[in-house]
Structures are given as C-alpha cells and as structure tokens.
Amino acid sequence: MDKLSDQQLFKQFSYINGSWHSSETQLEVTNPATGECIARVSNSGITETNMAIKAAKNAFKMWSEKSANERAKLMRNWFDLLMQHQDDLARILTLEQGKPLNEAKGEIAYGAAFIEWFSEEAKRVYGDTIPAPANDKRIVVIKQPVGVVASITPWNFPNAMIARKAGAALAAGCTFVARPASETPLSALAMAELAERAGIPAGVFNVVVGDDAKGMGKVLSEHPDVAKFTFTGSTAVGKILIGQCASTVKKVSMELGGNAPFIVFDDADIDAAVTGAIASKYRNAGQTCVCTNRILVQQNVVTEFTEKYTQAVTKLNVGDGTIEGISIGPMISKKAAKQVDKLVDESIKAGAKLVYGGKFDSAGDNFYQPTILTHVNNDMPIASNEIFGPVSPIISFADEHQAIQLANDTEYGLAAYFYSRDIGRIWRVSEGLEYGMIGVNEGLISNAAAPFGGVKQSGNGREGSKYGLDDYLEIKYLCMGGI
C-alpha cells in the first residue's frame, strides 16, 4: 500500500452519509498471494447498515430531483477520477484480491466504463405516449427511480460488480448502499473516496463493510425502506436472499452462478478456439461466473485441440499478481484451492485423465496449477459443479445435437461459448443454448454496452446496456381524462 501515489485512496472505515465511520472492532484484510495482513478495516454491522439505509433514504429526494444532466455530470466526474487513479486502484485490487496487476487495471477500466455508460444513459430515460381507446382520454407513461437500492457483491470483482450496479442505480436517480465482500472491501472504499471527490452528495453512495454477512444481508434484503435489492454471488445465497426480499416484495435482480460450456465444433478455427478458451478459462485464475467450466470438443478434433490447448496452458505463469509476467494469481483462500483440488481428485477417481497440472502450486499456500483433464463426462464433479478455479475439463461429443444437449444439461444458464464457421450452425446453436449470453467465436464477451445476465438458476435482471436501467426504474401510467 505504501507504493500508492495517492495514499488517501487507502481507506479503512465504512462510508456512510458522506462520512468515514469507525467501529469498535476491526476485520483484517489479507493479501491472498502472501497471507499478509494488508489492512484492518472497521468492522461495521447491523447498526451501521441501518444507518446507511437511513442516509440513502434521506438523500433520495434530493438526488432523484436533480436533472438527468446534473446527475450525469457528477457521474462523469466520478468516471474521470476512477480512470485517473487506475494504477492505484488496480494495485489495491491486486493486493486484496490476487489477480495479476494487468487484469486488475482491466477491471478498473471495465468498472469505470459502466459509470461512464450510465452517466450517458441517465439522459435517455424515455417515457411513452400510447393511443388511448377513448377519444376523451390520453395515456402517458413516465419512468421514475425505484428508491433506495441495496447491494451485496462478491470478492472476485471487487470494483466492477459494484460499479455495474451503482452506475445504473445512480443514473436512474436511486441512492445506493453497497455491502462489499469482507475479503475485498478496500476497492469499494476507494471508489467511495472518489465518489466524494467527484461531488456525489452525502448519502447517495454508501459503503458498509462488515463480516456479519448474514446479519447485514438480512437487513438489506428485508428493510422496508429498501426498494430494490441486487446481488451477485452464489446461487445458494441468492436463493436465501430472494426469499428474504419476499417479505417486502422488493424488486430483485440476481447475478448468480454459472457452468459455462465452451464448444469447439470440427469446422472451427482450432487455433482461435484455443486462444478463446484460454482467455475465458484462466482469467482471474478461473474465478469468474462466466469462466469456461466445461470444454466440449467434437470427437474428430479432440486430439488436435487438446494438444494445442495444452501447449498454450504450459505458457501460463503462476505467481503473485504484483510480479510482471504473471498470468495466474492465487485462489482467494486456501479453502477455495482445496475445494478445486477435491473436484480434480474426485473426477480422476471417476475416470478422468490428468493431462497437465493437478496439484497445489509451489508459489504459495493459495495457488493451484493450471490443470487439464480429459475423458471427462457431464456427471463428474468437475463438470457438474462450478469450478471457480484454473481447471479445464475436456468432454468429447459426437454431433451438434449432442453438444447442445450436454451444454444445456445444467441448472445454470449464464454464459456459453462456441466456435464454428458454419453460418447455419451458428444460428441453430445460438438459439438452442439456454444461456443469457453467448460468445460466438469469442471468449471475452462482457462490456458496458452489452446486457449481462443469466437465465435458469443463474439469476434474473440485466446489468449494463440500454436494458440495465430497467431494473432501477418503475413504470408509471398516467391516464389523462376529460379532454
């Protein structure tokens, strides 16, 4: 942290109603690459969560009554500051989360892009006029911000998961309470510091840090003053939170787990497929919900693909993300690395063949080697679970029909990828895959202009794009009579 050029970005307090709030106890933030304690952040809880909701409620009238242009200007300032401090923000992110510095810089730019995008979309919250069935009436539709928004976000994208939600919420005219994962609160607090410098008024953007996930989650999802609840995390926790939101019939959006298939057909450009699979699988050491989870390869090209893919994987360097040239950082914890190792072991016992890796890495306690398994089938633990680690299970299939059937054989439906050069097949497969997002000859699909989200048990709602504001707006219908 002493290498930051702006030390004021390193904050260890919750940010509530425009003030930094200390608590009696503290939680330690550790660097997953070294195990070293890098910060002791005030450990807020239920009381502070209630305070933040109250602050957001009080700020709502003022913020929602600002013109779209005024909100857009302040958000644009925020975007500019995030980009000006990209290097420092990336360093904070790598130190608390582990991903290589270059990837962390990419996440800061990606997160900031949502603030920029929604600063522009703020001006395009259009309503409607509708031809009325009777001549003496007129029908008008206006859109209004839903109110206070509460969010809970995970540790794998400590900046971008908040930016995606807060960008849309603030643009719509909502106020926001963020509860970041307690493993990675520092990126969220640095965002709050920059929101304040950007001129975003007190109470509009609040960050409450604490390790009582359940207690704080209950308040955020049940509080009557919270109008909308948005969550990114596991499907299991998402289900609990949806249940809690029912008590006050909140608007809910959920971005949950995935089990992304990456399909390589025999007409594909195999080299391009290898590049796409590496990008989609090994980003963030495999710890993203859109990471490739299963590689499905048509049986007549499985040998060629596996050889080329293994060659590419041998070039990936494992280590501390602050070191130049590292492509795979640590898992978030030893527990997470052990879980990945367990899935690998169990699948080998069930008949999978280990082609590469398969062990903890000597770089440190939380590191796992990039790993390739072949002869996998859809029922093995490595294919049926969300891996969240650097393991590539390869499954072979006979034909297009079987590829789609295998790909859809999961309760998840977030991202899917496939490589083919046949235009008819591209349409058939795109339409046949039960997923919210499809990469066609592309392994990296997420950006601010596109609607991010899943179907089935991967969640509901969309983040980013022109659709991203919908979750933060109410439609109000005005019937004008006596005309």
**Catalytic option among 96, 103, 107, 255:** 255
Residue 111 near ligand ADP by CB under 6 A: no
Cβ contacts of 216 within 8 Å, gap of 6 or more = 44, 45, 46, 49, 152, 179, 208, 210
Q: State the CB neighbour count (10 A cutoff) for residue 479.
A: 10
Q: State the CB neighbour count (10 A cutoff) for residue 73.
A: 16
Residue 1 near ligand ADP by CB under 6 A: no
Residue 39, classified by CB atoms within 10 Å of its CB into exposed (0-12), middle (13-18) or buried (19+), is buried
Is there a catalytic annotation at residue 193? no
Residue 448 near ligand ADP by CB under 6 A: no
**Catalytic option among 289, 291, 400, 463:** 289
Q: Give the nearest distance from C-beta 151 to ligand ADP in angstroms.
A: 10
Q: Which of 213, 348, 426, 440 binds ligand ADP (CB under 6 A)?
A: 213
Is there a catalytic annotation at residue 289? yes
Residue 333 near ligand ADP by CB under 6 A: no
Q: Which of 208, 237, 395, 437 binds ligand ADP (CB under 6 A)?
A: 237
Residue 234 near ligand ADP by CB under 6 A: yes
Handedness of CA 88, 91, 92, 97 (dihedral sign): positive
Q: Give the nearest distance from C-beta 19 to ligand ADP in angstroms.
A: 23
Three-state secondary structure readout of 344-377: HHHHHHCCCEEEECCCECCCCCCCECCEEEECCC
Q: Which of 45, 154, 364, 413 binds ligand ADP (CB under 6 A)?
A: 154
Residue 339 near ligand ADP by CB under 6 A: no
Q: Which of 52, 146, 152, 260 binds ligand ADP (CB under 6 A)?
A: 152
Tokens of residue 305, six digits: 């693909």
Residue with tokens 């280590």: 319
Task: State the alpha helices, DSSP H only, in 122-159.
Answer: none
Cβ contacts of 24 within 8 Å, gap of 6 or more = none
Q: How far is it, in rounded angstroms, from Cα 280 to Cα 156?
A: 15
Q: Which of 74, 162, 181, 278 binds ligand ADP (CB under 6 A)?
A: 181
Q: Which of 2, 61, 214, 335 binds ligand ADP (CB under 6 A)?
A: 214
Residue 477: beta bridge partners?
141
Q: Give the nearest distance from C-beta 290 to ligand ADP in angstroms.
A: 13
Q: Give the nearest distance from C-beta 313 to ligand ADP in angstroms.
A: 24
Residues assigned a catalytic role: 255, 289
Q: Which residues bind ligand ADP (CB under 6 A)?
A: 152-154, 181-182, 213-214, 217, 233-234, 237, 240-241
